[in-house]
Amino acid sequence: MSQRGAACGDERIRRLLMSGLDGEMPAEERKELQRLLESDPALKEEWDRLLRLKEVTDTMVFKKPPDVVWDDYWTSVYVRLERGIGWILLSLGAIVLISYGIWVGAQQFVSDVEMPLYLKVAVMATILGVVVLFVSVLREKLFMGRVERYKDIER
C-alpha cells in the first residue's frame, strides 16, 4: 500500500474508533470495527484505553453556577450595554472638547511673540507625540484586534 493509502487507512480506522466510542456508528461499520479489533492487538489496546477514558469523561459534567447567576444575567448584559454606550458618548464628547481646547491653546501659543522658539517647538513636539500615540492605539484597537492571527491554521 502506498504511504498515502496507508494514511487514508489510518484515518478511516481513527474515525471508526471515534464513531464506535460515541455510538454514532452504522451496523455495517460496527462489524468492520469488530473485525479490525480482533485482528490487531495494538489497535485493541488503543481501543480499550480510549474506552476507559470515555468512561471517565462520561461521569464528568460542567460545574453549575448558583441559580442566582441566571436571574441577574440579562440585567448584567443590559447594564454593560448601557455603560458601553455611555462611555462612547463620553469619549466622543471629551475628544471634541479636548481637541477644541488644544486648537484654541495652540493658536494663542503660536501667536505669542514673547515665547522662545525652542519652547514652542518642544510643546508642539509633545502635542504631536500624544496625537500619534493616540491614533496608533486607536488603530490597533479598531482594526488589528479584529484580525484573528491564527484563524487559518488547521491543527
> Toward other proteins, which CB reaches closer, 22 or 28?
22
Q: 3-state class of 154 per DSSP?
A: coil
Could you tell me the end-to-end alpha-carbon distance of the chain, in angstroms, rounded to an integer? 26
Does residue 142 belong to the site contacting other proteins (CB under 8 A)? no
**CB of 25 closer than 8 Å to CB of 19:** yes
Whole-angstrom Cα distance, residue 134 to residue 98? 13
Rounded least distance, CB 32 to other proteins, Å: 15
- The DSSP call for residue 65 is P
Name the minimum Å distance from CB 51 to other proteins. Answer: 9
Q: In three state form, how does the secondary structure of 89-152 look?
A: HHHHHHHHHHHHHHHHHHHHHHHCCCCCHHHHHHHHHHHHHHHHHHHHHHHHHHCHHHCCCCCC
**Nearer Cβ to other proteins, position 85 or 104?**
85
Contact yes or no for 16/32 (Cβ under 8 A): yes
* 7 forms part of the interface with other proteins (CB under 8 A): no
Among the listed residues 38, 70, 104, 119, the single contact to other proteins using CB under 8 A: 70
Question: Which listed residue (7, 69, 94, 98) binds other proteins by CB under 8 A?
Answer: 69
Q: Segment near other proteins (CB under 8 A), from 1-9, 48-56, 96-104, 127-135?
A: 48-56
- Quick one: which segment of 29-37, 70-78, 115-123, 128-136 binds other proteins (CB under 8 A)? 70-78
| Contact between 44 and other proteins per CB under 8 A | no
**Residues in the site for other proteins, rule: CB under 8 A?**
11, 14-15, 17-19, 21-22, 24, 49-50, 52-54, 56-65, 69-70, 73-74, 76-78, 80-81, 84, 148, 154-155
